[in-house]
Amino acid sequence: MTPVPGSGPFAVGDRVEARTGPIAHGGHVVARVRPARSGPDARDVVVFVRHALPGERVVIAITEVSKTFLRGDAVEVLEASPDRVEAPCALAHPDGCGGCDFQHVTLPAQRRLKAQVVAEQLRRLAGIEREVVVEAVPVAEDAPDDGLGWRTRMQYVDAPGGGPGLRKHRSHEVVAVERCLIAAPDARVAGHARSAGVVVERVLGRDFRVDADGFWQVHPQAPRILVETVLAMLSPRPGERALDLYAGVGLFSAFLAEAVGPAGGVVSVEGDRRASELAGENLAAFPQAATRHGRVDRVLAQGFGSRRALSGGAVDVVVLDPPREGAKRAVVSVVAALRPRAITYVACDPAALARDVAYFAESGYELAGLRAFDLFPMTSHVECVALLERAWPDLRRSDSR
């Protein structure tokens, strides 16, 4: 590496040349840099670099300084990776829109990088060595796999001078946006008048009522793919009892209820009151399904009493679909204590997933399956579905009843 001339420690605005290293969680690559004037005992400083790829030689503009690391943007590419392409969006550059991390990367390489991140998080946080493949998910069967036009919901902010805008990376500054290339042509805009009220989403022949500003997967194929994957992993059986935690409007609950049948039971637990109300409406056709509103950890701590859906307190299968921060130890411990035969964990954050997989391992559950889907092309985000099963038989119950 060749430091750009300067003196003293790094400051915002400094520029330094470096060879980039591996991909890091969050859409950055890792590089190591050293101040221009440093003694023989000086150590390199880690910098997390946006707009770069592993193995490139770039000029980095420092954007943030902390005690232990730096953040920066690749503002000049001296030796490019073969996976580099010209970004389709004119705003996907340093000091531009912060919405997309990987527009400068070919789609196959984006998926390889995301797979590396998932594998690295499992190795580092859960001690699991596993090969990961991130699967492509085109918008539709007849649509090009170009990573554009997939986002069905958008949330803009007001740009200077009026009009829609999006924020810069890690900033409150707003960039005016005429057209977001990853947004679907008919994307609903959160808080916009034309999005007010309740929308109806159709998944595998079933309608779901969803608040226009409430949570719903933003890739048009995501609900179907996630439902099919969860059902394939869990293989719910007639008569079984299921928990759907962080259930939203009951997407997984409805298909679980259908699978376990009238002799089974499903409890749908959701912390958002409006989503829980809609889950009740969406599950109205299933007498074997019940909804509970409240924080998942508190509802689990209270138990389910004599509710028909989980009479006796036994649970056979569990779906966890927590927010980005994950389920965390308290929820994992209670779920594991219920001794379900199988658990699926739907995760949009590989670090939170890996951490919680490690917690499940402490309670005797092992990672038995994993699929990853590219449901957020052009960004660093990836959706995973993990299957957790007991590492040893549960002699207290028989699966055959």
Chain position carrying tokens 């590396």? 116
Residue tagged active-site, from 97, 100, 180, 348: 348
Question: CA nearest 231: which of 120, 132, 371?
Answer: 371
Q: Are 249 and 278 in contact (CB under 8 A)?
A: yes
How far, in whole angstroms, is CA 47 from its chain's centroid? 24
DSSP 8-state code for residue 194: G
Q: Where are the beta strands (DSSP E) in 303-357?
A: 317-320, 342-347
Would residue 348 show up in a list of annotated catalytic residues for this protein? yes
Q: Are 388 and 360 in contact (CB under 8 A)?
A: yes
How far is 172 from 362, CA to CA, in rounded Å?
Answer: 41
3-state class percentages of the chain: helix first, strand second, coil last, to nearest 5: 20, 30, 50
At 54, which amino acid appears? P
Point out which residues pair with 347 in neighbouring strands: 384
Q: Are 74 and 60 in contact (CB under 8 A)?
A: yes
How far is 167 from 76, CA to CA, in rounded Å?
Answer: 22
Question: CA nearest 100: which of 376, 309, 367, 364?
Answer: 376
Chain position carrying tokens 């918008």? 139
Return the structure tokens found at 172.
Answer: 């409150």
Q: Which residues are the active-site residues?
A: 348
